[in-house]
């Protein structure tokens, strides 16, 4: 866990400090852990992350240039004027395809209203206030700024009495300086989200599990189902997809493990990514997908769109559909998996396996010559086999030999880091042989066993000897290290390097060994 530099600690008035807390009553030591800024639809936002007299960091967000008095005028007077001036049919508000057009109309109307009320207001200030007014009218108010912060993974409202919580990629759970004013506002936001995706949340249906058009996953509950008040939990969809170089930079995976996984993917061997909740399974699956050759057809199957592959790949993304309020129209993951097999895919990526029939279809696909990559909840390689072979999944152990390897991801909550805990090969008898394991004491990944079954499989399908396999892995380590040095983090950049490597390995290795940059095709970036 990052620690604040004691030299940077500043003492100042702390409005959250109670009697007797801090240096003296009403004051506390405040350490500035981090500060940065970003834009939320053109609205400038500043963030400070502080360590105060509390058990968790404080995430303080401000919108420079908008005073509290101005906010009050915007929310009490001008917001009503805006709603009155822009005449909209309810279908326009609820249709995601029309949202951009509706937003333009609201922004234009907001600028007219601001000009009418503040004739001497500069144009740049007018633009900022118009966006603020738009977010208060059509969006989730000040929560929109939280959703625009790429450093956040989760935004949580527990009730109207507590501050909004966020999960920061670097600092973990933080309390914000924002809160919703009452339970009715929490309900209104939850209801607005539900309507936008054709769902509803009310006394008869007090829970909501939905996915926004942006890809963000939303869960909401109403009192008294949630005893302390109405809740909203938003898991953010990553706008900057994880790549294998991103994981190498963050030390989530080592280059030798990543190179071996790359070799497996190049030779069309099926892999399973497992781990606990929030360990980064889907993110790692996304990184693996960037290693697939460009001349193969890929079908992805997910509960919600989280995977983002290089734009030039032959890719068909599919997502499940929830039933309507009458219980009709549902399209399940099993439906999509069966359908995918009729689309002549070379690779199938499955968001998460939960049920027996899904697992049976997945392994049947492996046995019929398809390369399949999927995620599963399990804490280590042995537990993965246990989950697969026992109820409710209950796959016969004899079917497991179609799976070549298991990647186990792990999140260490105390240190707030993610690591590949294990990489294991599958034996012919459905047993696991762990090849690499992360050591928490040294923060190093160590080779623990010799590769056997995987080496035989790679030799069978690629014709490589054991020495050639070692040389190929070493060459891929060179490419990966070079990509890290050249800061090739973008999903399309990584995909292009990999595709160039498959097509002309000599050219790529020449660039790698000379430390040169690679010329990218601008049409695909």
* In the predicted structure, residue 21 carries a pLDDT above the cut 50: no
Where would I find the beta strands (DSSP E) of 177-256? 207-211, 217-221, 231-235
What residues contact residue 120 under an 8 Å CB cut-off, 6+ apart?
Answer: none
Q: Which H, E and C letters describe 126-192, residue by residue? A: HHHHHHHHHHHHHCCCCHHHHHHCCCEEEEEECCCCCCCEEEECCCEEEEECCCCCCHHHHHHHHHH
**Structural domains of the chain ordered from first start:** 68-138 (no CATH), 244-465 (3.40.50.300)
pTM for the model stands at 0.79
* In the predicted structure, residue 123 carries a pLDDT above the cut 60: yes
Please give the average per-residue pLDDT across 348-364, as a whole number. 91
**Which of these, 267, 311, 287, lies nearest to 375 by C-alpha position?**
287
Q: Give the pLDDT confidence score for residue 24 in this predicted structure.
A: 38
Helix (H, G, I), strand (E, B) or coil at 10: strand
Please give the average per-residue pLDDT across 289-305, as a whole number. 92
**Tens digits of residue pLDDT in 360-403:** 999 989 988 899 999 999 999 999 999 999 999 999 998 898 99
Confidence of residue 79 (pLDDT cuts 50, 70, 90): confident
Q: Give the pLDDT confidence score for residue 23 in this predicted structure.
A: 37
Please give the average per-residue pLDDT across 130-147, as a whole number. 86
Q: How far apart are CA 203 and CA 169, in angstroms?
A: 35
From 69-78, 90-99, 102-111, 248-257, the region with the lowest mean pLDDT: 90-99
Q: Give the pLDDT confidence score for residue 58 in this predicted structure.
A: 96
**Which of these, 395, 412, 474, 162, lies nearest to 278 by C-alpha position?**
412
Residue scoring higher pLDDT (100 or 387): 387
**Tens digits of residue pLDDT in 176-213:** 999 999 999 999 999 988 887 778 899 988 999 887 77
95: exposed, middle or buried (Cβ count in 10 Å: 0-12, 13-18, 19+): middle
Helix (H, G, I), strand (E, B) or coil at 450: coil
Residue scoring higher pLDDT (15 or 292): 292
* In the predicted structure, residue 69 carries a pLDDT above the cut 80: no
From 81-95, 191-205, 479-493, the region with the lowest mean pLDDT: 81-95
What residues contact residue 502 under an 8 Å CB cut-off, 6+ apart?
Answer: 266, 293, 294
Unique residue bearing structure tokens 């781990």: 275
**Which of these, 60, 53, 65, lies nearest to 18 by C-alpha position?**
53
From 130-134, 296-300, 447-451, the region with the lowest mean pLDDT: 130-134
């Amino acid at each position: 866990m990052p620690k604040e530099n004691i030299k940077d600690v500043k003492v100042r008035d702390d409005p959250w400090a109670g009697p007797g807390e801090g240096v003296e009553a009403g004051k506390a030591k405040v350490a500035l852990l981090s500060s940065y800024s970003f834009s939320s639809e053109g609205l400038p936002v500043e963030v400070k992350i502080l360590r105060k007299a509390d058990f968790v960091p404080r995430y303080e967000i401000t919108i420079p240039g908008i005073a509290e008095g101005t906010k009050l005028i915007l929310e009490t007077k001008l917001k009503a004027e805006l709603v009155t001036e822009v005449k909209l049919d309810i279908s326009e508000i609820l249709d995601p395809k029309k949202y951009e057009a509706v937003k333009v109309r609201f922004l234009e109307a907001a600028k007219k209203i601001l000009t009418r009320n503040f004739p001497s207001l500069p144009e740049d200030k007018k633009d900022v206030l118009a966006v603020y007014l738009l977010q208060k009218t059509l969006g989730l108010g000040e929560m929109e700024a939280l959703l625009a912060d790429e450093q956040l993974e989760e935004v949580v409202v527990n009730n109207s009495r507590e501050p909004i919580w966020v999960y920061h990629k670097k600092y973990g759970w933080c309390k914000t300086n924002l809160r919703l004013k009452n339970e009715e506002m929490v309900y209104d936001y939850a209801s607005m989200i539900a309507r936008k995706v054709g769902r509803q949340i009310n006394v008869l249906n007090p829970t909501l599990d939905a996915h926004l058009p942006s890809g963000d996953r939303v869960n909401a509950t109403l009192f008294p189902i949630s005893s302390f008040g109405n809740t909203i939990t938003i898991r953010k969809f990553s706008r900057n997809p994880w790549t294998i170089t991103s994981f190498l930079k963050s030390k989530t995976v080592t280059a030798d493990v990543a190179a071996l996984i790359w070799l497996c993917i190049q030779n069309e061997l099926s892999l399973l990514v497992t781990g606990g909740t929030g360990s980064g399974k889907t993110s790692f699956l996304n990184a693996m997908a960037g290693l697939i050759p460009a001349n193969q057809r890929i079908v992805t199957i997910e509960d919600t769109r989280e995977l983002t592959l290089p734009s030039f790949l032959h890719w068909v993304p599919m997502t499940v559909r929830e039933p309507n309020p009458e219980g009709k129209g549902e399209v399940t993951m099993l439906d999509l998996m069966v359908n995918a097999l009729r689309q002549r895919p070379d690779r199938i990526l499955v968001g998460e396996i939960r049920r027996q029939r899904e697992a049976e279809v997945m392994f049947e696909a492996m046995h019929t010559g398809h390369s399949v990559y999927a995620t599963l909840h399990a804490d280590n390689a042995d537990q993965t086999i246990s989950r697969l072979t026992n109820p409710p999944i209950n796959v016969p152990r004899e079917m497991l030999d179609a799976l070549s390897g298991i990647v186990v991801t792990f999140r260490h909550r105390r240190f707030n880091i993610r690591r590949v805990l294990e990489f294991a090969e599958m034996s012919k008898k459905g047993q696991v042989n762990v090849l690499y394991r992360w050591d928490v004491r040294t923060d190093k990944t160590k080779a623990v066993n010799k590769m056997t079954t995987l080496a035989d499989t790679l030799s069978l399908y690629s014709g490589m000897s054991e020495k050639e396999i070692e040389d190929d892995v070493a060459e891929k380590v060179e490419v990966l290290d070079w990509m890290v040095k050249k800061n090739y983090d973008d999903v399309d950049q990584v995909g292009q390097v990999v595709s160039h490597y498959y097509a002309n390995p000599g050219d790529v290795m020449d660039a790698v060994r000379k430390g040169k940059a690679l010329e990218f095709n601008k049409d695909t970036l």
